[in-house]
Amino acid sequence: MEATLLILLFILLSAAFVYVSSLFAWLIWGKGVPFIPLTKKQLKAINRNIKLKSTDRVVDLGCGDGRVLRIFEKQGAKDLVGYEVNFWIYLLAKVKNKISKSKSKIYLKDFKKVNLSGYNIVFCYLSNYYMDSLKEKFDKELRPGTKIISYAFWAKNWHEQKIIYTNKENKKLGKIFIYKM
Ligand SMILES: C[S@@+](CC[C@H](N)C(=O)[O-])C[C@H]1O[C@@H](n2cnc3c(N)ncnc32)[C@H](O)[C@@H]1O
């Protein structure tokens, strides 16, 4: 009983540490966006509305603990890569991938320093500001036909191909913006 409580306490403290450290990384080093993972409900909505093929080459920009990649892997996508800049979250992603036997690859790297030309699906859950700043990189590197799937955030001066409304009660929430190069 005591041992179980200690384990639970350890898990809770580790989770709190990971989360707080990501907030600090965001506040101190200005690494763009803190780790705010998609909830189970949001992931279900993504899974319902986005269908990938086994031949898709997928990259998740700021993949957090890799949860979106694992959803896409279950759909059959095989070539899955995520970039995460926060060491602790990256570590968490590696552990979760190991536990769930996921073959998606997670790298500890700033995705702005990565050439994205090899991917035909780009997933992001970042911020409006980030989406605006990435437009130039996307224009330079992504091949025609590449699909950008952005959960919740859109880019100014960039016409989306489609908006998927996943929340029927509140159309402002849970939007998925699809852009095509
Ligand atoms: C809002 S969270 C989304 C996490 C995950 N994609 C999900 O949906 O649960 C954004 C993540 O992007 C990471 N991030 C922000 N800027 C980054 C960068 N330039 N390179 C790599 N990761 C970055 C943050 O550390 C954070 O974990």
Check which CATH number belongs to the domain holding 90 and give it.
3.40.50.150
In a domain, 7, yes or no: no
| Enclosing domain of residue 92 | 32-180
Instruction: Please give the number of the atom of ligand 1 that sits closest to the Cα of 43.
Output: 8
Tokens at 98, concatenated: 């190991």
In a domain, 48, yes or no: yes
User: How many whole angstroms from 4 Cα to the centroid of ligand 1?
Assistant: 32
**Angle CA 99–102–103, to nearest 5:** 140
Shortest-distance Cα residue to atom 20 of ligand 1: 110
pLDDT, tens digit, for every residue of 56-111? 999 999 999 999 999 999 999 999 999 999 888 999 999 999 999 999 999 999 99
Paired residues of 163 in beta bridges: 177
pLDDT, tens digit, for every residue of 104-137? 999 999 999 999 999 999 999 998 888 989 999 9
Residues flanking ligand 1, CB < 6 Å: 22, 31-33, 35-38, 60, 62-64, 67-68, 83-86, 89, 110-112, 125-126
User: In the chain, how many domains are there?
Assistant: 1
